[in-house]
Amino acid sequence: MNIVKRLMKGIIKGVREVLRYIDAVDSEESDIFNFLKEKMKINIEVHPQIFC
């Protein structure tokens, strides 16, 4: 179980880095990125027990 928790924390860290990078980049595809970002936020909010 410890390994799973570490793995999930690593994934979330990676996702946050990507979202931070997306925020910094202003491109024509920002609508797609915003959509994905909202999806990730929803997933994190819906499944908080996974990310603790």
**pLDDT tens readout for residues 26-36:** 555 667 767 77
pLDDT value of residue 49: 61
Looking at the structure of the chain, the number of domains it has is 1
pLDDT at 50: 57
The residues, any chain, with a CB within 8 Å of residue 8's CB and separated by 6 or more, are 50, 51
Could you tell me the pLDDT band of residue 7, with boundaries at 50, 70 and 90? confident
Packed helices 2-24 and 30-46: angle between N→C axes, nearest 10 degrees: 150
CA–CA separation, 39 vs 43, rounded Å? 6
**Residue-wise pLDDT tens digits, 14-24:** 888 877 776 66
Which range marks the domain in which residue 40 is found? 2-51
For the entire predicted model, the pTM comes to 0.37
| pLDDT tops 70 at residue 37 | yes
Are 40 and 15 in contact by the 8 Å Cβ rule? The answer is yes
